[in-house]
Amino acid sequence: MSDLGTEQSPLRAAIVGSGPSGFYAAEALLKSKPVVLVDMFERLPSPFGLVRSGVAPDHPKLKEPILVYQRIAESPQFQLLGNVMVGHDISVEELKNFYHAVVFTCGAETDRSLAIPGENLLGSHTATEFVGWYNGHPDYRDQVFDLSHDTAVIIGQGNVAVDVCRILAKTVDELKHTDIAKHALEVLAQSKIRDIHMIGRRGPAQAKFTHSELRELGELADCDPVVDPNDLELGSASREEFADRRNRANMKSYEVMQGFASRPSPTRHRRCHLRFLRSPVELKGEERLERVVLMKNRLEGEPSQQVARATGELEELACGVLFRSIGYRGVAIAGVPFDERGGVFPNQEGRIIDGENVVPGLYVAGWIKRGPTGIIGTNRADSVATVKLLLEDLPNLDAGSKPGADEVRKLLKDRDIRVVSYADWQRIDAAEMQRGETAGKPREKFARVEEMLAMLDASG
Ligand code: NAP
């Protein structure tokens, strides 16, 4: 019988990705009965995934889970190995030699595609690019967003679309005391955008955003929300959806929309238009985006299963910039099976599978397990469920000696990889907060990896 999980032979677990699902997996492992040592790998020098680089800067309360993650990271059984890209700096095969189990919590790093002509025209962007840019994510530091036109279009009606809309709609005064990246605030300050169209392929009863997020669009300093009351007329299937208590959340959003529709004519500098039953079918322009061609849709199907069907009627909307906010998608890592269709790691409730077979020692949690749905807290139960299976598997895991972080560090040193520890990150964190102080911001992020590493080198 193996003694894995005891003081003499602790279970060594690697977690790949330092967002919410990674930290909740770490927490579940550290709280478990077996003795576990957790090493968390993160591609960037900064941890916390989308809580740092996805949550909108003007939503500081949503970043509070970081306080919990900080406590987890301070456990003596936890190590951060930041600035290390699994699949590039160290292979998954190598990780298997260093750890008894590997839990992938690497989220959904890219976007779904619309697959329409002109999608990649200059001026057409993914929401991920824009969100990463205003949040100081190093991958997007050098993105260029031309906001010199009067009309912006956002495709999709989820909470990410609302975030993008709000950041475009807000005044500099509304943003300047948030942790928005300086480079983004400078560009937004020059924005000429007056009209923002947030376009859903289905109707107002099916919009994915939540009512509290939607309501904020009615509370902006210099932007009016605009909804055409005619667009709020519901078909019988949508009315049936609202009669079902399970759709209470959508009903609440609908009530917010009714409030918007009954407002007097807009008077503010900007307008945010909620548009429904339209799908983009082509983006047009000579050198760059000039207009989007929209197909008018009608709804078809049973209540709660209604889909958008093209009517054949087209309309064009002139716009200078467009953001595709139609959901995220996971990215493959060499050495791990990948489900191309779903954009996730194929799994049975968290055990990674290859075809029909479970891959021993490999687990998955969070968006890369179930797809990009749910709020930050949704990931806690998901990670707990995966860790439960991992612990059930403990007797069957390869109990051979696994050296863990110390040996990984040696290997990475030989490869000239500067591993960023949690203590290093705390120094970066403190420096960011200090940089923010003079500007009256909670922090001024370092938006380049080199800047973070240089700061560490300079401060010894
Ligand atoms: P989402 O909620 O899934 O919304 C995606 C939107 O894109 C939907 O309106 C969807 O319409 C539309 N869409 C998908 N494919 C399309 C296509 N081919 N053509 C046109 N439209 C298409 O995704 P998200 O906004 O990226 O958010 C991801 C998760 O993060 C969500 O759970 C969200 O609540 C969460 N989040 C939360 C917050 C917050 O709490 N403040 C902030 C940001 C994100 P259909 O409904 O017709 O598919």
Q: Could you give all domains of the chain from N- to C-terminal order, each with its CATH number?
A: 11-109+330-420 (3.40.50.720), 112-327 (3.50.50.60)
Residue nearest to atom 7 of ligand 1 (CA): 326
Q: Which residue of 164, 201, 298, 299 sits with most ligand 1 atoms within 8 Å of its CB, as the best mutation to test the pocket? A: 201
How much distance in Å is there from the Cα of 155 to the middle of ligand 1? Answer: 10
Residue 36, beta-bridge partner list: 11
Of the candidates 114, 292, 310, 17, which has an alpha carbon nearest to the alpha carbon of residue 26? 17
Look at strands 328-329 and 110-111 and give their pairing: antiparallel
* Res 399: pLDDT: 86
Residue nearest to atom 9 of ligand 1 (CA): 157
Sign of the CA dihedral running 93, 413, 108, 281: negative
Of the candidates 174, 134, 18, which has an alpha carbon nearest to the alpha carbon of residue 447? 134
371 lines ligand 1 (CB under 6 A): no
Q: 136 and 169 in contact (C-beta within 8 Å)?
A: no
Question: Among the atoms of ligand 1, which is closest to the Cα of residue 208?
Answer: 2
Instruction: Give the residue-averaged pLDDT of 250-276.
Output: 97
65 lines ligand 1 (CB under 6 A): no
* Res 106: pLDDT: 97
| Confidence class for position 1, pLDDT limits 50, 70, 90 | low
* 358: CB partners within 8 A, 6+ apart: 348, 351, 352
161 lines ligand 1 (CB under 6 A): yes
326 lines ligand 1 (CB under 6 A): yes
* 53: CB partners within 8 A, 6+ apart: 131, 132, 135, 136, 137
The fraction of the chain above a pLDDT of 70, given in percent, is 100
Nearest-angstrom CA–CA distance, 359 and 352? 6
| pLDDT per residue as tens digits for the range 219-255 | 999 999 999 999 999 999 999 999 999 999 999 999 9
373 lines ligand 1 (CB under 6 A): yes
Instruction: Give the residue-averaged pLDDT of 33-40.
Output: 97
| pLDDT per residue as tens digits for the range 53-82 | 999 999 999 999 999 999 999 999 999 999
* Res 429: pLDDT: 98
How much distance in Å is there from the Cα of 137 to the middle of ligand 1? Answer: 21
How much distance in Å is there from the Cα of 201 to the middle of ligand 1? Answer: 11
Helix (H) or strand (E) holding 40: strand 36-42
| pLDDT per residue as tens digits for the range 166-190 | 999 999 999 999 999 999 999 999 9
Instruction: Give the residue-averaged pLDDT of 7-13.
Output: 95
200 lines ligand 1 (CB under 6 A): yes
Helix (H) or strand (E) holding 104: strand 101-104
Strand, coil or helix: what is 398? coil
Residue nearest to atom 33 of ligand 1 (CA): 159
If you ran DSSP here, which 8-state letter would residue 422 be given?
Answer: H
Residue nearest to atom 42 of ligand 1 (CA): 159
* 2: CB partners within 8 A, 6+ apart: 9, 394, 395, 397, 399
How much distance in Å is there from the Cα of 325 to the middle of ligand 1? Answer: 7
Residue nearest to atom 13 of ligand 1 (CA): 326
206 lines ligand 1 (CB under 6 A): yes
How much distance in Å is there from the Cα of 156 to the middle of ligand 1? Answer: 6
| pLDDT per residue as tens digits for the range 132-167 | 999 999 999 999 999 999 999 999 999 999 999 999
| pLDDT per residue as tens digits for the range 321-345 | 999 999 999 999 999 999 999 999 9
* Res 403: pLDDT: 94
143 lines ligand 1 (CB under 6 A): no
Q: What is the mean pLDDT of the chain?
A: 97
227 lines ligand 1 (CB under 6 A): no
| pLDDT per residue as tens digits for the range 412-444 | 999 999 999 999 999 999 999 999 998 899 999
Instruction: Give the residue-averaged pLDDT of 339-361.
Output: 97
Question: Among the atoms of ligand 1, which is closest to the Cα of residue 161?
Answer: 25
How much distance in Å is there from the Cα of 25 to the middle of ligand 1? Answer: 25
